[in-house]
Structures are given as structure tokens and as C-alpha cells.
Amino acid sequence: MSSEVRQFTVGTDDEGVRLDRWFKRHLPQVGFATVSRWARTGQIRVDGKRADPADRLSAGQVLRVPPGGEQTEKGPRLRKPLTEEQRLLAKDMVILRTPAALVLNKPPGLATQGGSGTHEHVDGLLDAYADNNGPRPRLVHRLDKDTSGVLLIARTPGSAAFFSKQLSGRNARKIYWALVMGVPQIEDGLIELPLAKQPGTGGEKMMVDESGEGQSARTRYRVLDRAGNRAAWVELQPLTGRTHQLRVHMAAIGHPIVGDGKYGGKDAFLSGTISRKMHLHARRLIMPAPGGEEIDVTAELPEHFAASMAGLGFDEMDGAQIPLPPPPPPREVKKAEAKAHAKQYRKERRGERRKRGESDGAPKRAPARKGPVKAAGRPAAKGPAKDPAKGPVKPRKR
């Protein structure tokens, strides 16, 4: 336990962070109640002035912390030391290292985080990337256990907050490759189907929910190549970030991902030498990084995926020659477009009402609106009508 007054200089990585959050980052052994008491009694000082736990800090400020305050009843849980094999695995996964981030190529079969009965996971390997006396790197997004590919790790608390904001603001472009059963009739499409947790599965499985209770989910896809009518190699771009979104959406349009028995059942497997593992790979990540830089990284295919590509006659280099689709417009642009559309619609409606009022005789009665069109084999959904021949897929212009 410290018996002397301590002084800390706020670093650039803590620019704008709240005082109580600074303690959680750098002195986690000091509880929130202690921080509040110190602030209330004037024992915490920022540049010599009293401070409140909610105050925002600026880089270069000097923080005075009184002695003591460590929680003795229950300290932080000690982590089990990593084995040499685990450290080698952690090292081999790294495909990009920057001051703000580590980018890994996660192998299939390795969970991102721990859970019931899951003891081997990426989160448990992050101590291998920690610098001496530096902050422990942290996850900012996740991949399913059987999905391979690009996984972003933040190296500092400040970069973790930055990357989380970019991901939640849809400023990151995540490109996936998948092998799917059959060939989608529309080769370049947008799937818009809301998703919800499937009852009775404990949240472990998702389903399409068009009752109005499901969360909005949008997936852009396009066919890169086909093996007759047997299978297709597709590029997937999630425009929202729902659990199992890509897997549920592809199964919902009748083309489950090869090896995804959870959502495709027995129809998700190819005969012959094609692996029964899931063929979904986070191929590329493009997103802003702190300092105005950009991360653009590509992950090599795992062994089973590459072997299946060769077995079906697909050439991985063909995918590199196809340019990426344009990024979706930012939320601000979409809001402005929607507002302009609504304004134009109201203007046109006012013109129609004015013309009806000027016409002779009684105004004509407007025809009754028809209800939503039913998609084949699916109950009517709320919202805009859908072409039953196309279902939930909207064709996109190349």
C-alpha cells in the first residue's frame, strides 16, 4: 500500500477521459467510493485544483493522488501464466502491429472470448501482447468460434475507445469470403431481414423475425464465382453488426454457408473431399485509426478453406482483381437524403390536394391502399411491399 502522495501526468491516450475512468484504467485497485470520497474532501487535485469524478482530463495535466486507497478485501483476479505453446500461438496470429492496434488472423475453432466450458480463447492470450508495465490489450469486436480471419485488438484504453466508436458508427468496412450451397439467382444483392434471438436456445441461436420485434439487419453480398449449380464463392459485407448475421441471412435466402450445420442443417454440407468445417472467413478490414491513419489489412485463408476453393475450381487471385463495392453512405448523408425525400413528397402531395380542390365536382375518392405483398413461403411482413419473386433480396447495380 502506498504511503506517499503520488503524482501522475495525463498522457495523450487519456485525452478527454473522465477522472473516475482514469482511475479504473491506471489504478484499478482504488475503488469508485474511495475516488468519490477523495474528490469530495479535496484530496484529489488536477493542476493544483479540486476535481470531481466526472471531470474530463486533458493531456499534460498533473494529477495528485493521496496515499492509500487500495482495496484489501478482494484484489484483481490473478491470471494463469501462459504456456510457451500459447505464446507461440499468440505470436503466429499477428499480421499487423501498430502503436494503436494489433490485427490477428484468428484460426477457426478458437473462440474470441471465454464462456461455459470454453477455456482456450483469444482473450486469454492477450497477456502475450502486453508490454512491460503497460496496459493489457483488449478486444474491440469478435468473431464466431468457427469463423476465421481478421480480428482487431486495441493496444491501449484510448485506442479501444476510438475503435469502438468507429465500429459502432459503421465507419469500418468488414469484407468476408464464404462458400455457400447452390448459387443465388441475384448475383449482387442486399438482404434486409430483421433478426432476433430464437426462443428456447438461451440466446445461442438467432432467427429471422419480421413481427416488428426483430432488430434491423442488412447484408450486402455478391457472387465472385460458381461451381456449376453446386456451390458459389461469395463476398459478404455486413452493414449492421448482429449476432450470426451473415450465417442467418444466407440460410434465409436458401444458400447456407458450407459447413454451417447450425443454420443450414444437413443441407449445408458438400460431398466428396470438401471439409465439413465452416467456410466463413473475415478476409479484409478497412477502418480509420488514431492520428488520421487508416488500417487496411487482409488475412490469408485457413488451410481447409483454401483446399475447398481449389477442389471447387476457384482461384483465390480472382477475388483480388474484383474491386470492392462503394462504401455505404454515412448516417448523416442517409438522414439528409431521407429528409429531402420526405420534403419533396410533402410538396408533391400539397400540389395534388390543390389540384383536386380546383377541379369541378366532388373530389375523387382515393383508391384503397393494398396491404404488404406476401413473399413465397413466408408470412406477410410489416413495412414496404416486397416482390414475391425476389423475396428479401434487392438487386444492386454493378
Nearest to 122 by CA among 74, 82, 160, 169: 82
Q: Strands (DSSP E) along the chain, which ranges?
A: 6-9, 45-46, 49-50, 62-65, 94-97, 101-106, 138-139, 148-154, 173-181, 188-192, 195-197, 206-208, 218-227, 231-238, 280-288, 294-298, 393-395
Phi-psi region of 148 (alpha: psi -120 to 50; beta: other; left: phi over 0): beta
Give the CA-trace dihedral at 87, 90, 93, 95, to 10 degrees: -100
Determine the 3-state secondary structure of 159 from DSSP.
helix
Decide: 286 and 172 in contact? Cβ < 8 Å.
Answer: yes
Q: Catalytic residue among 20, 55, 123, 144, which?
A: 144
Nearest to 153 by CA among 96, 102, 98: 102
> Does the active-site annotation cover 144?
yes
- CA distances to 6, 266, 346, 360, 369 from 364, rounded to whole Å, are 82, 57, 20, 10, 15
How far separated are the first and last CA of the chain, in Å rounded?
65
> Helix (H, G, I), strand (E, B), or coil: what is residue 33?
helix
Residue type, 189: G
266: which DSSP letter?
A: G
Q: How many CB atoms lie within 10 A of CB 256?
A: 24
Distance CA 259, CA 146 (A): 10
What does residue 352 show for φ and ψ, rounded to 5 degrees?
-65, -45
Residue 254, classed as helix, strand or coil, is: coil
Q: For the chain, give the number of residues.
A: 398
Beta-carbon contacts of 300 under 8 Å, excluding residues fewer than 6 positions away, are 105
The torsion defined by the Cα of 185, 187, 190 and 195, in degrees rounded to 10, comes to: 50
Catalytic residue numbers read 144
